[in-house]
């Protein structure tokens, strides 16, 4: 399996979008920060919502916001053109893992009514959606996660010390970049990836087989009963999933994770949290609206640790995560960075023994 080589025009489009996004992150964001310090100074209210209205009132904010949404739309056009001629996925004759699709699965309305990330048709509507998502995600991460180092760092620093686990489940596994590192870390364990999107699962299966790894991918809703047996998993993971879930589904996710885990089993969720810096926090809240991620502000504002405890976890807490550096930060704050970046964090929860 390979993706078609890109022609000069496609490369030029992608390079343009990438350069635009980098200037948005490393020039417009610091300028927004500078304007807040210059015009508001120490006068920013402690209340997050009031502080946000000051940030949004800065002259460059309109440019910052417009540039984020417009570059995201341009990104999907460029990416869709680039992957239009993908060859069909080729699988080995005897795959090591498996792919179980459920043609009768009804996708939740909250999942289908938004083009998530402004990607036309989301990650589920067409066969090529997964390829488009795969290449688009590389641009969204501005080239920093091309080899999926963020995901490897997550596995190494947040999920790397399990004692002979037998089953690991990756919820909302997408095209597998959060799943195959688990199999690489624990080759003897059964690794299962679950997602709603058939196109993503097909790509995940093919990519994982190409790596010579046996992972079982299955279509299912991780906010309801996935059909997997209860009490069998040592670890449940989810990367970049929970900010996409509305409140009832978020609770459903924690309930299903708790149901799947063994006593003492662990939940590790890589997602986003507030940093305490009003400019960054405003930018990420607005990102949810501009990027068609309508449930992101609600997830960030809710007490997800309490939700986990309500679902049966004995304890739960968030730690900061430095995706380009050391990974898990032991509860410490994010390192100071001038440019815009996602406020990555990991929710860690454990079932009682
Ligand atoms: C942003 S992607 C992240 C994919 C992958 N974990 C990663 O880190 O690249 C979110 C994924 O969650 C899936 N998803 C969203 N809601 C879901 C649900 N209720 N059940 C299963 N998968 C879901 C989407 O289809 C999508 O593939």
> What backbone phi and psi angles, to 5 degrees, belong to 316?
-155, 140
Structure tokens at 157: 């620093």
- CA–CA distance, 190 with 213 (Å, rounded to integer): 11
The dihedral sign for the CA sequence 275, 278, 283, 289: positive
Distance from the CA of 200 to the center of ligand 1, in angstroms?
A: 9
Task: Give the pLDDT of residue 83.
Answer: 84
Distance from the CA of 174 to the center of ligand 1, in angstroms?
A: 5
Pocket lining: 123 vs ligand 1, CB cutoff 6 Å: yes
Distance from the CA of 202 to the center of ligand 1, in angstroms?
A: 14
Distance from the CA of 344 to the center of ligand 1, in angstroms?
A: 16
Atom of ligand 1 at shortest range from CA of 249: 19
Q: Are 202 and 99 in contact (CB under 8 A)?
A: yes
Residue whose CA lies nearest to ligand 1 atom number 14: 172
Pocket lining: 145 vs ligand 1, CB cutoff 6 Å: no
pLDDT digits (tens, 9 = 90+) for 62-73: 999 999 999 999
In this structure, of 39-43, 154-158, 241-245, 267-271, the range with the lowest mean pLDDT score is 39-43
Distance from the CA of 196 to the center of ligand 1, in angstroms?
A: 7
171 forms bridges with which residues in the sheet?
194, 238
Atom of ligand 1 at shortest range from CA of 151: 8
Pocket lining: 154 vs ligand 1, CB cutoff 6 Å: no
> Nearest 5 degrees, angle CA 71-CA 77-CA 78?
85
The dihedral sign for the CA sequence 19, 20, 25, 29: positive
Q: For residue 224, what are the contacts with CB-CB under 8 A and spacing of at least 6?
A: 252, 256
Ligand 1 pocket: which of 133, 158, 244 to mutate (most atoms within 8 A of CB):
244
- CA–CA distance, 176 with 286 (Å, rounded to integer): 28
Long-range (24+ apart) CB contacts under 8 A made by 99-106 are 99/201, 99/202, 99/205, 99/217, 99/218, 100/216, 100/217, 100/218, 100/219, 101/198, 101/201, 101/218, 101/219, 102/218, 102/219, 102/220, 105/196, 105/219, 105/220, 105/221
**Quick one: average pLDDT of 208-226?**
97
The dihedral sign for the CA sequence 199, 202, 206, 211: positive
What is the β-pairing status of strands 327-328 and 313-322?
antiparallel
Pocket lining: 177 vs ligand 1, CB cutoff 6 Å: yes
pTM: predicted TM-score of the whole model, two decimal places: 0.94
- CA–CA distance, 93 with 177 (Å, rounded to integer): 23
Task: Give the pLDDT of residue 85.
Answer: 66
Atom of ligand 1 at shortest range from CA of 117: 1
**Quick one: average pLDDT of 174-196?**
97
Pocket lining: 174 vs ligand 1, CB cutoff 6 Å: yes
Structure tokens at 203: 């790509």
What is the β-pairing status of strands 327-328 and 233-239?
unpaired
Confidence of residue 281 (pLDDT cuts 50, 70, 90): very high
pLDDT at 241 over 60: yes
Q: Are 254 and 313 in contact (CB under 8 A)?
A: yes
Helices (H), the chain: 8-23, 29-39, 48-56, 61-82, 109-112, 129-140, 149-158, 180-185, 198-210, 247-260, 278-290, 296-301, 304-310
Distance from the CA of 242 to the center of ligand 1, in angstroms?
A: 8
Query: DSSP 3-state assignment of 322?
Result: strand
Quick one: the chain helix, strand, coil %, rounded to 5? 45, 15, 40
Pocket lining: 111 vs ligand 1, CB cutoff 6 Å: yes
Residue whose CA lies nearest to ligand 1 atom number 1: 240
| Average pLDDT of the chain to the nearest whole number | 92
Q: Are 121 and 115 in contact (CB under 8 A)?
A: yes
Confidence of residue 3 (pLDDT cuts 50, 70, 90): low
> How many other C-beta atoms are found inside a 10 Å radius of the C-beta of residue 81?
16
Distance from the CA of 194 to the center of ligand 1, in angstroms?
A: 8
Atom of ligand 1 at shortest range from CA of 137: 9
Q: Are 282 and 55 in contact (CB under 8 A)?
A: yes
Pocket lining: 244 vs ligand 1, CB cutoff 6 Å: yes
Pocket lining: 86 vs ligand 1, CB cutoff 6 Å: no
Q: For residue 195, what are the contacts with CB-CB under 8 A and spacing of at least 6?
A: 172, 173, 174, 201, 204, 217, 219, 220, 222
**Quick one: average pLDDT of 245-252?**
98
Atom of ligand 1 at shortest range from CA of 176: 5
pLDDT at 79 over 50: yes
190 forms bridges with which residues in the sheet?
167
Ligand 1 pocket: which of 172, 173, 219, 222 to mutate (most atoms within 8 A of CB):
172
């Amino acid at each position: 399996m390979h993706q078609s080589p890109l022609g000069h025009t496609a490369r030029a489009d992608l390079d343009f979008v990438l350069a635009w996004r980098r200037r948005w992150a490393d020039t417009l964001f610091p300028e927004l920060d500078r304007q807040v310090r210059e015009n508001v100074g120490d006068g920013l209210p402690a209340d997050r919502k009031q502080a946000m209205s000051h940030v949004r009132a800065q002259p460059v904010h309109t440019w910052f916001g417009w540039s984020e949404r417009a570059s995201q739309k341009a990104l999907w056009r460029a990416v869709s053109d680039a992957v239009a001629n993908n060859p069909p996925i080729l699988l080995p004759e005897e795959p090591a893992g498996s792919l179980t699709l459920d043609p009768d699965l009804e996708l939740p309305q909250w999942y289908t009514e938004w083009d998530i990330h402004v990607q036309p048709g989301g990650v589920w509507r067409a066969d090529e959606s997964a390829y488009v998502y795969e290449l688009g995600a590389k641009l969204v991460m501005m080239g920093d996660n091309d080899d999926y180092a963020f995901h490897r760092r997550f596995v190494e620093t947040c999920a790397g010390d399990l004692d002979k686990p037998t089953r690991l489940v990756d919820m909302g596994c997408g095209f597998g970049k959060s799943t195959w590192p688990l199999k690489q870390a624990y080759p003897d364990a059964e690794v299962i990836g679950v997602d709603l999107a058939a196109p993503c699962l097909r790509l995940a299966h093919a990519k994982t087989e190409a790596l010579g790894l046996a992972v079982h991918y299955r279509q299912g809703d991780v906010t309801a009963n996935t059909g997997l047996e209860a009490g069998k998993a040592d670890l449940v993971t989810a990367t970049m999933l929970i900010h996409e879930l509305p409140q009832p589904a978020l609770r459903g996710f924690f309930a299903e994770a708790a149901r799947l885990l063994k006593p003492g089993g662990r939940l590790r969720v890589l997602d986003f949290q507030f940093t305490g810096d009003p400019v960054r926090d405003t930018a990420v809240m607005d990102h949810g609206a501009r990027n068609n991620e309508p449930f992101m502000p609600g997830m960030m504002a809710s007490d997800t640790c309490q939700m986990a405890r309500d679902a049966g976890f004995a304890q739960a807490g968030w730690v900061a995560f430095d995706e380009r550096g050391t990974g898990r930060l032991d509860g410490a704050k994010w390192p100071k960075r001038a440019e815009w970046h996602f406020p990555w964090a990991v929710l860690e929860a454990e079932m009682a023994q």
